[in-house]
Homo-oligomer: A and B are copies of this chain.
């Protein structure tokens, strides 16, 4: 028997791939926690190569969700990442959609 599931718009439809993608979601979540987070820390926390992290940071920067700041700590070059207000809002929207999805899945478990 094929049950007729819930027919309202499915929560995944509203998910933004720029935000939902696993690594980018991690960058936004860590950026939300730390407010200003250093490239090396992100790379280690998310277990990425520098190249892979840079690729995802470019996608988020192009979407206006993060600001990237280059500078020095002593003689060493550093890169810091900060969420923009749009980044905070995008993360909040992702979280609220995921909560709708989770509630729906758990309702039928």
Contacts A32-B108, A34-B2, A37-B2; A10 near B95 (Cβ below 8 A): no
- Which residues of chain B have C-beta atoms less than 8 A from A92's C-beta? 109
- A 4-45 contacts with B by CB, 8 A: 4-7, 10-13, 15, 17, 20, 22-23, 25-26, 29-30, 32-38, 41, 45
Residues A13 and B26 in contact, CB atoms below 8 Å apart: yes
- A 39-96 contacts with B by CB, 8 A: 41, 45-47, 80, 91-92, 95
Residues B37 and A5 in contact, CB atoms below 8 Å apart: yes
Residues B109 and A3 in contact, CB atoms below 8 Å apart: no
Residues B80 and A2 in contact, CB atoms below 8 Å apart: yes
Residues B99 and A25 in contact, CB atoms below 8 Å apart: no
Chain B residue at minimum C-beta to C-beta distance from A45:
B10
In Å, the complex CA distance between A1 and B6 comes to 47
- Write 7 A-B pairs (CB below 8 A) sorted by A numbering: A3-B33, A4-B34, A5-B30, A10-B29, A20-B20, A32-B109, A102-B102
